[in-house]
């Protein structure tokens, strides 16, 4: 039986041009080397009236804009990634294709100008959520100054190519994290460094001219971004925007495209999940965190104690330490009496130390990150020290002068 | 935008734009962007308003004397209780991090929308088209 693709056609329709679907397909291929059967691309319409194609994968989101028509829907339509690839094949030889839904069969239907059809089941159990919005604002905006760089696309491409320059002979374990890039926008320059020293190679640093406003540095996982940048036209400029030193994202924006990349630190990407896992293995569950960024510290409780903290710290020599911290008392001013009591406490502690910082008395167990395989011993030292210090909040303030 | 008839009583009516050109300009260029910003911030903090499809909390209205005002959606008692809990959460967060309102000298303009352009105009989460099978 021949299916009637035009039956039960939705009252909306999306007319897609060859260039538009090509842009989407190239972006998708750059972000995901393999199409994933259960992932979708979103198409919707912004308040400006432009059609928006949105592709997101973990730390990166990329969008492509195109002119919309009055028949465009304002809702977010999920299109399976696999279907985009097939639309590319289908559109060859024509100017465009029409996309609509069969509202009875529950399918998305594509119709080419030469009368061929293709349909796919409408995805289920997918929902456009806030993280799919291209621009998310910045809750920390009032606290720091944004930075903007305008860079020619030829220079952007040079930047992207450098990100892909793997030193020859580099080899690393399958679960190791590849180097992040550190970028700096300042003094009419976009500069970057890729640090391959962990892979027994060198640091590579480069720069291209830019028109900058403000100054900032940031680090992020660069490879998908570089792959997308390399798909873009090279005859115009792009803007790089980072909304202050506490910004979660950097934005790379061209005429009809953009990329939002999550700013994260390489050492946190390497170690955070391992620390969480090792703590869990010894019965300590860290609390959930809200940010998409990998947190530099997390909270947990031990046997109903006050909130404790686990944090990661990178030192100048690239070594990383893990720190378990409990705030024993706050509002304790410096005095000889307080320091004397802290010294007495430290004499009795094993594998832990107490210190006074910013009027807070802190109990700390700190060890090189390679020691997380012995997490049980570190947590035990922390727990014992916490028990020894349980009365600090009561008596230490008494020694303040 | 879904408007409740009169959230503050009889003195308030939803705005009718059949006014002078000057008033329409003021609404389009000045007041509506402010309302959109307000809704964006309220949705960021409170989530979408459960009483209408758009999720907006605020709308533009005017009094009988012609003064423009901001109206807020009426909510059910159940939604009001949820809102109350949400305010409590917000208060706890602000209390924890000791947030003070920024002074004018701290204020940084939001350059993001002008840089990001058309994509930044998608400010609210659109509804998701779902699969419908009618047999």
Instruction: Determine contact, residues A87/A113, Cβ cutoff 8 Å.
Output: no
Low-confidence ranges of chain A (pLDDT < 50): none
Q: Three-state DSSP class for B82?
A: helix
CA distance B109 to B102: 12
CA distance B114 to A10: 35
b/e per residue A351-388 (b: at least 16 CB within 10 A): ebebebeeeebbbbbbbebeebeebeebbebbbebbeb
CA distance B113 to A134: 10
Phi, psi of A184 (to 5 degrees): -135, 135
Q: What is the pLDDT of residue B35?
A: 87
Instruction: Determine contact, residues A55/A41, Cβ cutoff 8 Å.
Output: yes
Contact B122 A137 (CB under 8 A): no
User: Of how many residues is chain A composed?
Assistant: 401
Give residue for tokens 């830019």: A210
DSSP summary character for residue A346 = H
CA nearest to A62 within chain B: B119
Instruction: Determine contact, residues A240/A250, Cβ cutoff 8 Å.
Output: yes
How far the first Cα of chain B sits from its last, in Å, is 33
Instruction: Determine contact, residues A180/A193, Cβ cutoff 8 Å.
Output: no
Q: Which of A47, A138, A255 to mutate to test the interface with B (most CBs of B within 10 A)?
A: A47
pTM of the complete model: 0.77
Phi, psi of B33 (to 5 degrees): -60, -35
Instruction: Determine contact, residues A226/A275, Cβ cutoff 8 Å.
Output: no
Residues of A whose CB is below 8 A from B116: 134-135, 241, 251, 253, 258
Distances (CA, A) of A397 to A296, A332, A362, A393, A401: 30, 6, 13, 7, 9
Instruction: Determine contact, residues A332/A319, Cβ cutoff 8 Å.
Output: no
Contact B125 A133 (CB under 8 A): yes
pLDDT tens-digit readout, A195-223: 988 888 889 999 999 999 999 999 999 99
pLDDT tens-digit readout, A315-370: 877 899 999 999 888 877 788 878 888 888 888 889 999 998 888 889 999 999 99
Phi, psi of B94 (to 5 degrees): -65, -40
Contact A253 B117 (CB under 8 A): yes
How crowded is residue A302: how many other Cβ atoms within 10 Å of its Cβ? 17
Contact B107 A241 (CB under 8 A): no
Give residue for tokens 């009032």: A142
Q: What is the pLDDT of residue A399?
A: 62
Percentages helix, strand, coil for chain A (3-state, rounded to 5) are 25, 35, 40
Contact B119 A243 (CB under 8 A): no
Q: What is the pLDDT of residue B9?
A: 39
Distances (CA, A) of A208 to A3, A162, A202, A252: 56, 11, 20, 15
Q: What is the pLDDT of residue B96?
A: 60
Low-confidence ranges of chain B (pLDDT < 50): 1-14, 99-102
Contact A52 B122 (CB under 8 A): yes
Q: What is the pLDDT of residue A2?
A: 80
* ipTM score of complex: 0.82
Q: Which of B37, B99, B117, B124 to mutate to test the interface with A (most CBs of A within 10 A)?
A: B117
Instruction: Determine contact, residues A110/A92, Cβ cutoff 8 Å.
Output: no
Instruction: Determine contact, residues A227/A30, Cβ cutoff 8 Å.
Output: yes
Q: Three-state DSSP class for A41?
A: strand
b/e per residue A104-138 (b: at least 16 CB within 10 A): ebbbbbbbbeeeeebbeebbeebebeeebbbbbbb
CA distance B44 to B39: 8
- For A41, the token pair is 């691309």
Q: What is the pLDDT of residue A224?
A: 94
Candidates A127, A142, A243; nearest CB to B107: A142
Distances (CA, A) of B22 to A97, A205, A246, A288: 43, 56, 41, 51
Contact B126 A124 (CB under 8 A): no
Q: Which of A68, A79, A106 to mutate to test the interface with B (most CBs of B within 10 A)?
A: A106
How crowded is residue A341: how many other Cβ atoms within 10 Å of its Cβ? 20
Distances (CA, A) of A21 to A11, A16, A89: 22, 7, 10
DSSP summary character for residue A238 = E
Q: What is the pLDDT of residue A141?
A: 62
């Amino acid at each position: 039986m021949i299916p009637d693709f035009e039956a039960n056609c939705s009252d909306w329709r999306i007319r897609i041009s060859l260039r538009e679907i090509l842009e989407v397909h190239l972006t998708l291929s750059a972000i995901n080397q393999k199409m994933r059967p259960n992932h979708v691309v979103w198409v919707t319409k912004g308040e400006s009236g432009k059609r928006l194609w949105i592709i997101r994968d973990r730390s990166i989101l990329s969008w492509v804009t195109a002119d919309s028509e009055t028949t465009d829907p304002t809702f977010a339509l999920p299109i399976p990634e696999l279907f985009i690839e097939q639309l590319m094949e289908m559109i060859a030889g024509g100017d465009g294709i029409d996309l609509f839904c069969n509202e009875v069969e529950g399918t998305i239907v594509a119709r080419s100008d030469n009368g061929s059809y293709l349909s796919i089941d409408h995805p289920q159990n997918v929902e456009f959520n806030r993280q799919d919005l291209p621009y998310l604002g910045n809750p920390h905006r009032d606290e720091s100054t944004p930075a903007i760089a305008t860079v020619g696309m030829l220079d952007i491409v040079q930047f992207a190519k450098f990100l892909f320059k793997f030193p020859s002979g580099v080899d690393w374990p399958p679960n190791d994290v590849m180097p992040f890039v550190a970028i700096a926008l300042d003094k009419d320059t976009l500069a970057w460094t890729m640090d391959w020293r962990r892979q027994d190679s060198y640091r590579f640093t480069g720069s291209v001219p830019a028109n900058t406003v403000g100054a900032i540095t940031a680090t992020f996982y660069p490879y998908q971004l570089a792959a997308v940048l390399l798909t873009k036209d090279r005859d115009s400029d792009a803007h790089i925007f980072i909304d202050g030193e506490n910004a979660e994202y950097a934005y790379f924006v061209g005429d009809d495209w953009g990329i939002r990349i999550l700013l994260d630190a390489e050492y946190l990407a390497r170690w955070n999940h391992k620390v969480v896992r090792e703590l869990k293995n010894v019965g300590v569950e860290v609390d959930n965190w809200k940010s998409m960024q990998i947190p530099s510290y997390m909270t947990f409780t031990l046997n109903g104690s006050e909130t404790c903290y686990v944090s990661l710290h990178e030192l100048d020599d690239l070594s990383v330490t893990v720190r378990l911290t409990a705030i024993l008392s706050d509002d304790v001013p410096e005095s000889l009496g307080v320091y004397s009591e802290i010294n007495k406490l430290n004499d009795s502690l094993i594998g832990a130390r107490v210190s006074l910082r910013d009027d807070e008395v802190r109990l700390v167990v700190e060890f090189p990150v390679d020691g997380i395989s012995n997490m049980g011993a570190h947590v035990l030292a922390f727990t014992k020290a916490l028990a020894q210090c349980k009365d600090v909040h009561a008596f230490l303030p008494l020694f303040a002068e | 935008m879904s408007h409740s008839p009169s959230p503050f009583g009889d003195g308030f009516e939803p705005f009718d734009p059949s006014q002078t050109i000057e008033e329409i300009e003021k609404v389009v260029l000045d007041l509506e962007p402010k309302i959109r910003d307000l809704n964006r911030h309220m949705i960021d903090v409170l989530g979408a308003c459960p009483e209408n499809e758009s999720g907006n909390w605020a709308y533009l209205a005017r009094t009988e004397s012609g003064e423009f005002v901001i109206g807020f959606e009426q909510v059910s008692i159940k939604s009001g209780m949820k809102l109350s809990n949400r305010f409590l959460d917000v208060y706890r967060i602000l209390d924890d991090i000791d947030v003070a309102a920024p002074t004018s000298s701290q204020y940084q303009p939001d350059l993001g929308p002008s840089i990001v352009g058309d994509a930044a105009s998608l400010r609210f989460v659109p509804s998701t088209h779902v699969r419908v099978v009618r047999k």
